[in-house]
């Protein structure tokens, strides 16, 4: 674990429309919620919209604008990102911020297990580890520090619980990574259901 004070975390504005039964968030950062477990859920099976929630507070949303596309739009903390693949055959994922034309980050798979690396600006990286047999899903820093783990809420529920183990300025700067991992978990679930 790192010693000393971490660099100051950039504040972001959470701008969400109030929904019945849910709290409208005020000015907070992801770090304000990482002392507790967060939940990744799909509120309605009839809509391709997913939430990252702290209790009833919606922190980020992920939606699929087109039924036939794997592209998703992530919104939260006053920002918007598009997660897409350059082509149908590409295993690489690109992340584009706001109205930018060029991607600001990429996810590149490594090996056959399904893990890989999120390549971020300034040469920084976050590793995603996927254990096929243990069903482990975790994020690690470049220093091999476990940052976040993901697990299914229960055998009876489809929600995913995200548990934060260590503070990370990179995750503060790139909170879309949480939703990108969630998207991969959803794709694996769909593939498993199709194979069954």
Q: Could you read off the pLDDT of 39-66 as tens digits, one per residue?
A: 999 998 888 899 999 999 999 999 988 7
In a domain, 96, yes or no: yes
Q: Higher confidence at residue 19 or residue 82?
A: 82
**Number of domains composing the chain:** 1
Domain membership flag for residue 145: yes
Interstrand relation of 157-164 and 146-154 (parallel, antiparallel or unpaired): antiparallel
Query: How far does CA 109 lie from the centroid of its chain?
Result: 16
d(CA 85, CA 106): 9
Alpha carbon distance 21, 38 (integer Å): 17
- How many Cβ atoms sit within 10 Å of the Cβ of residue 72? 24
The structure's pTM equals 0.81
Asked if residue 110 belongs to a domain, the reply is yes
Residue 182 within any structural domain of the chain: yes
pLDDT at 5 over 90: no
- Please give the structure tokens belonging to residue 2: 């790192």
In a domain, 14, yes or no: no
Q: By residue range, what is the domain housing residue 54? A: 30-195
Q: Provide the pLDDT confidence category of residue 195 given band limits of 50, 70 and 90.
A: low
Query: Given pLDDT bands bounded at 50, 70 and 90, which one contains residue 113?
Result: low
| Chain CA centroid to CA 137, Å | 12
């Amino acid at each position: 674990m790192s010693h000393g004070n971490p660099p100051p975390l950039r504040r972001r504005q959470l701008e969400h429309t109030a929904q019945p039964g849910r709290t409208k968030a005020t000015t907070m950062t992801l770090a304000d919620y990482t002392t507790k477990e967060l939940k990744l859920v799909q509120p309605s099976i009839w809509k391709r919209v997913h939430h990252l929630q702290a209790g009833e507070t919606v922190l980020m949303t992920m939606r699929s604008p087109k039924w036939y596309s794997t592209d998703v739009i992530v919104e939260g903390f006053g920002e918007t990102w598009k997660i897409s693949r350059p082509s149908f055959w590409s295993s690489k994922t690109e992340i584009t911020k706001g109205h930018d034309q060029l991607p600001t980050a990429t996810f590149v798979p490594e090996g056959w297990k399904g893990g890989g690396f999120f390549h971020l600006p300034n040469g920084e990286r976050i590793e995603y580890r996927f254990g096929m047999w243990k069903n482990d899903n975790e994020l690690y820093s470049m220093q091999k520090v476990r940052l976040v783990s993901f697990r299914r809420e229960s055998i009876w529920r489809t929600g995913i619980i995200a548990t934060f183990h260590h503070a990370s300025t990179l995750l503060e700067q790139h909170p879309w990574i949480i939703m990108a991992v969630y998207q991969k978990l959803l794709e694996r679930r769909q593939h498993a259901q199709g194979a069954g």
